[in-house]
Structure 1
Amino acid sequence: MTFSWRRRRGKITAIAHEIELTIPTHFRCPISLDLMKDPVTLSTGITYDRDSIDKWIDSGKVTCPVTNQVLRNFDLIPNHSIRKMIQDWCVANKSHGVERIPTPRIPISRYEVSEICARLVAAARCADAAKLQDLLLRTRNSARESEHNKRCIAANGFGSALAESFESLAQFSAEDSENLMKEILSALTWSFPADQDGILRLKSAVSLRWIARLLKAEDDLSSRQNAVCVLRELISADQGGIVIDGVMGIEGVEEALFQIVKVPICPKATKACLVVINYMIDKDENTALRLVQMGLIPFILEILVDGDKSVCEKALAVIDTICNSKQGRQSANENALTVPLLVKKILRVSDVATELAVSTLWKLCLGENESALVEAVQLGAFQKLLVMLQIGSGERFKDKLTDLLKLMNLYRDKLDCFDSSMGFKYIKRSN
């Protein structure tokens, strides 16, 4: 039996075999105007569908959509009476194709999350592996049930409890704790601590050693992915550079990061790895040189060939940082793909990618190797840079643009590469 919902003249109706069913007003969510599947009541006494009011509150609003009153709290109380009435209405209209709305699972509350956090920390302090495993499993299953549960868990201190538990277990250094450490690390990828206390615990020497240990777990791709993602978040949250210093002092980290770029695990891990590498090589030139000697540049260029916008920007940032040093520029120039890919990415990916590509070309062309300048001109870089200057893009690095255009203009007539018919065809601006 065909069945559909239709809005008409302010009413929502169900159409089935030419029979029109009007949904009772009090069964409809005031926000979405759809039949409520999980009705919940705010402190103002107004009932909404949970998904709709969740989105309203998550967007930062602090008032009741109907009454406009400031909410005393954000508790969502299940309205069992309305839900039962809606289910009965659905059953009564089953012959018209209306399906009964199933009874929703009771979502986790912030009070339950607080209790889980306290028990998790207590279990970690005494290394109670069985209890820790049970709590982690229950929380993971709850997070998988719904996005609401996942958001509630992440927003109520779970990340900080995980960080404290991770540090506590790290101090035992027991082999039988490894699986638990992996579980905690996995949970940290979606509930990274928002407070400084949690971040400080993950920045401790013992925690960083365990993160590095799991980063180097060659036979466990999942742990390596989780480790590099947590490390990226940790470095991004670190203002003093303690994490970078701590990680660079651990043997094998550079090789582990290089392997993730060389043999990709997944796009998420690749992006995180590029961010970590860029922080490290920006901090220490010797780290950059060691990674270049391992063969990093060819794999970064390979990523640029068909990478998406986000990964291209991160790969270009790494190349740009590598080219800060004379040895880095020499290594980049030795690869036949470097200049062609840099020229290709100008005006093709995003404003950020264009700026990074121009910055890198500037370093290469003003460096010790004149061939980079000649090759860039031959590949049409002059035309692209001229277009950028004409349309007013690249205001933040206009000096570099001007320098490059002056240098390239010396070779333009000699190489006879300028074709005014090319016009603006290179322009592909990002949204």
Structure 2
Amino acid sequence: MVRDDLCITVPSFFRCPISLDVMKSPVSLCTGVTYDRSSIQRWLDNGNNTCPATMQVLQTRDFVPNRTLQRLIQIWSDSVTLRVDSPESPTSTQSESVLSKDQILVAISELQTHCANRFDSLAKIARFAQDSEENLDFLVRTECFVPALVGFLDNVNDGVEFLEQVVTALDLVVSKMEDCEGLKNLILKRQGGGEKQSVDSLLLLLQQGSHVIKIASARVLKSLAVDAESKLLLAEKDGLLSELLNLITPEKDPDLMENCLSCLVSLSTPRRSKMKLVRLGAVKVFSNLLSTPSLSVSVTEKVLKLVETVSSTKEGRSEICEDSACVSAIVNKVLKVSSVATEHAVTTLWSVCYLFRDQKAQEAVTKANGLTKILLLMQSNCSPQVRQMSSDLLKIFRVNSKSCLSSYDTKTTHIMPF
């Protein structure tokens, strides 16, 4: 399998400490040392009662298959076979990553077997992943890699610096995963009646991590929200929604705000999540954001989407209607942002003013010159759905406020809504 001219080096972790050959069936003793099954079996059959590598007396002669290491050896073996069958020229190898796939497999092995080297191994893996899309694909295909990362993420006591390395690598890999269902099960599934601590680690990084790590943590959390169950589990985690809300205040970095908003949008669809957001004062946070000048289009769209989401609950509508500044800010986003923003804004106004006929909301829309904007919107190339909601809003104001509409005759004489 190995050709001298390719200078292929066998990773030391793949060699049996007894035979020094690549292990075919790696098994681990109670001491934690892994051997090839045939070699350690012969050692034990000869009457030995110690671990060959450490010379510790064995508390039990049983051993367990090391499936993770076996898969790594198989991946490495396949890659070697491919290079033997199709050797690359020196020119092509120069363009490869500084770290080879063999070195990365060794680093992944170190994650499993060498506690002291875990930080350096993760740093190597992160550099490898950042080097190319091909490298990311390789890591995604390495079945044992993501479970190994999640295993470290599940230990919140490893410290912020180490957890930052874990989330950096995990964020890179998640971006290439087509299906995050498996990741969701690894991180959120409770085993043996106990609660996994992975979300605690992600929350810790949202609170104490660097700027870049907070963004990565928000992206990983969003990737876990794949169904109603996972969204509820995350939203009900003490402190998670409140921390995300803390990170979307106007003085925060736009990239951080946008990723945290995306996470909130994903988590907010279940009714219980909406209710919790309202209780945490989300409407006030959204109102402050919408009142901030020079807000980016994408951030504005996401904030309006969240406002629309909470407006589907009685408590959320009540909070919106009690905050005239919030209604005014929504009205101001009806035009000149984007078609997406317009739809979210009009849907919210339609909900509070037309569907639920809130008098305070209607008055706030009137004071914010909302009727003029709605009339102008109907003259634009808006979607049929937006046009219908705008028409419904105008009917409400025509019925409830004749004096209001008469005042608009002087401002918008070129528009004939009825």
Superposed pair shares fold, TM > 0.5? yes
For residues 259-316 of structure 1, give each alpha carbon's deviation from its aligned partner in whole angstroms, at most 9, with x where no partner exists.
223486422222222233233332133x333332332222212222232000000000
Residue 341 (structure 1) aligned to one of 321, 325, 329: 329
Match of 1:224 in 2: 214
Secondary structure of residue in 2 paired with 1:391: coil
Residue 387 (structure 2) aligned to one of 398, 401, 411: 398
Q: Aligned ranges for residues 147-158 of structure 1 at < 5 Å?
A: 149-158=131-140
Give the 3 Å change call, closer, same or farther, for CA 359–174 of structure 1 in structure 2. closer
For residues 321-370 of structure 1, give each alpha carbon's deviation from its aligned partner in whole angstroms, at most 9, with x where no partner exists.
11111111111111121121111111211000000000000111122521
Conservation of the 8 A alpha-carbon contact between 2:152 and 2:166: no
Deviates more, 1:403-412 or 1:215-224: 215-224
**Letter in structure 1 aligned against 2:286:** I
* Consecutive unaligned residues in structure 1, runs of 5 or more: 1-74, 81-103, 426-431
Deviates more, 1:177-186 or 1:413-422: 413-422
- Whether 1:125 aligns to 2:112 is yes
* Consecutive unaligned residues in structure 2, runs of 5 or more: 1-86, 190-195
Give the 3 Å change call, closer, same or farther, for CA 168–125 of structure 1 in structure 2. farther
Secondary structure of residue in 1 paired with 2:234: helix
CA distance in 1, matches of 2:324, 2:210: 32
Match of 2:149 in 1: 166
CA distance in 1, matches of 2:267, 2:330: 22
- Whether 1:175 aligns to 2:174 is no
Conservation of the 8 A alpha-carbon contact between 2:147 and 2:186: no
Match of 2:68 in 1: none
Shift of 1:137: 2.1
Match of 2:281 in 1: 295
Conservation of the 8 A alpha-carbon contact between 1:309 and 1:349: yes
CA distance in 2, matches of 1:183, 1:162: 14
- Whether 1:200 aligns to 2:189 is no
For residues 44-99 of structure 1, give each alpha carbon's deviation from its aligned partner in whole angstroms, at most 9, with x where no partner exists.
xxxxxxxxxxxxxxxxxxxxxxxxxxxxxxx996759xxxxxxxxxxxxxxxxxxx
Shift of 1:197: 7.0
Give the 3 Å change call, closer, same or farther, for CA 379–124 of structure 1 in structure 2. same
TM (normalized to structure 2)? 0.65
CA distance in 2, matches of 1:423, 1:79: 74
CA distance in 2, matches of 1:117, 1:196: 22
- Whether 1:389 aligns to 2:375 is no
Q: What percentage of residue pairs aligned between the two structures are identical? A: 18
When the two structures are aligned, how many residues end up with a matched partner? 317
Match of 1:71 in 2: none
Secondary structure of residue in 2 paired with 1:357: helix
Conservation of the 8 A alpha-carbon contact between 1:225 and 1:269: yes
CA distance in 1, matches of 2:239, 2:340: 32
Give the 3 Å change call, closer, same or farther, for CA 354–193 of structure 1 in structure 2. closer
- Whether 1:407 aligns to 2:396 is yes
Match of 2:258 in 1: 271
TM (normalized to structure 1)? 0.63
**Letter in structure 1 aligned against 2:281:** G
Residue 261 (structure 1) aligned to one of 244, 248, 264: 248
CA distance in 2, matches of 1:422, 1:77: 74
CA distance in 1, matches of 2:307, 2:323: 12
Shift of 1:372: 1.4
Conservation of the 8 A alpha-carbon contact between 2:286 and 2:303: yes
CA distance in 2, matches of 1:396, 1:77: 60
Deviates more, 1:349-358 or 1:376-385: 376-385
CA distance in 1, matches of 2:176, 2:393: 44
Give the 3 Å change call, closer, same or farther, for CA 355–214 of structure 1 in structure 2. same
Residue 364 (structure 2) aligned to one of 365, 375, 378: 375
Deviates more, 1:346-355 or 1:387-396: 387-396
- Whether 1:418 aligns to 2:408 is yes
CA distance in 2, matches of 1:79, 1:343: 61
